Chains A and B, each alone.
Chain A
């Protein structure tokens, strides 16, 4: 891998100072854990001149238990999320998903904000400079052809963060700060279905916190993923399930997916299962709905049909196991 280029590192103490520093420098990036950004810089797919380091900002490290919501600072590490008693109690799938990201040493410095804003990934993109050059680059960076779908003009690099689908189960909102002030949007609206430009963040905006409304009563949730190496890897498919029963019948069902498209999303059309008994036949139908919507493309060495099938199977298994 290449050496890091010349860069200026800035250490702001507040969100506002970070935004000013980012705004003042032309090619700058926010840096938190760095487990992905520094790799991408060394591979030449990011070339910032300035890095604005966020870990010195106290506001971004807090987990706050409010009456109606739990707020999680964007610089909270994935290890802290996974171990948080508060999150395990209220949002089990979120804590589980955080604990499934990469390996234990990555989770020590990888952050919630970094995982939610993770760049999309593709076997033709996350490669060294010489590898990509030998392949005439790709649509996402420096090239004009998508090697996944050469006939099209769209990039299919897959969003591969584990925590986002779990947070989608709970109607999470993200608090963003930028040169024009702060705003709060639904987590779902942070993403768009475009592998080249999958985040709706405007220039200079950074994620400050995630706010998750508490549920009136506990509903079982869980997260599971398939990956090449069980110990450490991005998801081939990641599935978060929330399923509540009332009188043995399904009263609440949501399923979030990651790793199978340029954005994390909630599976559509699950309301038809409300009121049904969660028996084998029903959960096989749930599996088939998930499989149909997990439209994985050839962005990993593992073939797409496997990722579709495994997404459905994981949803079925999770639904069987969580209640």
Chain B
């Protein structure tokens, strides 16, 4: 069965006819053409598909698109403005928080959610907020430094 889905993705209002069994991550990548959000484990274990729904981090691979009626969805694709990176993106760039890069979109969206509600997080706060995001390259130290960099930039 299909239904009409109305929502905003990165500030743009969209109306699409979507099948009931379409996952949000496939909707974002295949229908909306926003391939920043990655498919890692497909089971909620890696966090690569993390997006913000109404400002809160969620797994796009465990969310049915049709349940996002009237929701405000944000992905990594929508963060930069006019070619300028946001603080958290600059943090990952400057502090080498990204190596192979596959986990980065999820890391950045989970960090973004953290910094919006807690502009001055402790290292423990950062570790807690990123607990559901797995990185196989960095060992996490550079990622934490990236978030700390972004927190300083945002409040400076």
Contact = CB atoms under 8 A, between A and B. Distances in A.
Interface of A: 1, 3-9, 11, 31, 34-35, 38-39, 42, 51, 53, 55, 102-106, 108-109, 231-232
Contact of A105 (B58, B64, B69, B127): B58
Given A9-B1, A103-B132, A55 B67 contact: yes
Between A55, A102, A108, the greatest number of chain B beta carbons within 10 A of the residue's beta carbon is seen for A108
A9 B64 contact: yes
A102 B132 CA distance: 8
A298 B47 CA distance: 28
Given A1-B43, A9-B64, A42-B43, A109 B132 contact: no
Interface string B63-81: 1101101000000000000
18 contacts: A6-B19, A7-B21, A9-B3, A9-B20, A9-B64, A9-B67, A11-B69, A35-B44, A38-B23, A38-B62, A38-B64, A39-B43, A42-B43, A103-B132, A105-B47, A106-B44, A108-B56, A109-B59
A1 B45 CA distance: 13
B29 to A, nearest CB: 14
B148 interface: no
Contact of A108 (B1, B3, B58): B58
Contacts of A103: 47, 131-133
Contacts, number: 79
B62 A34 contact: yes
Contacts of A108: 56-58
B20 A106 contact: no
Between B19, B58, B67, the greatest number of chain A beta carbons within 10 A of the residue's beta carbon is seen for B67
A6 B2 CA distance: 10
Contact of A53 (B22, B45, B67): B67
Interface string B130-152: 01110000000000000000000
Contacts of B50: 105
Interface in B18-59: 19-23, 42-45, 47, 50, 56-59
A5 B64 CA distance: 12
Interface residues of B, number: 30
Nearest to B45: A232
B63 A34 contact: yes
A63 B77 CA distance: 36
A105 B132 contact: yes
Interface string B1-26: 10100000000000000011111000
Nearest to B21: A4
A42 B64 CA distance: 12
B128 interface: yes
A253 B89 CA distance: 51
Contacts of A6: 19-21
Contacts of B110: 104-105
A4 B58 contact: no
Given A39-B44, A104-B57, A34 B131 contact: no
A133 to B, nearest CB: 18
B63 A109 contact: yes
Contacts of B66: 9
A1 B132 contact: no
Given A4-B23, A6-B19, 5 more contacts: A9-B3, A35-B59, A105-B50, A106-B59, A108-B58
Contact of A104 (B3, B43, B128): B128
The 4 closest A-B pairs by CB, nearest first: A103-B132, A231-B131, A9-B20, A1-B42
A10 B130 CA distance: 33
Interface in B92-117: 110
Nearest to B59: A105
A160 to B, nearest CB: 14
Contact of B129 (A1, A35, A104): A104
Contact of A106 (B19, B42, B127, B132): B132
A148 to B, nearest CB: 22
Contacts of B129: 104
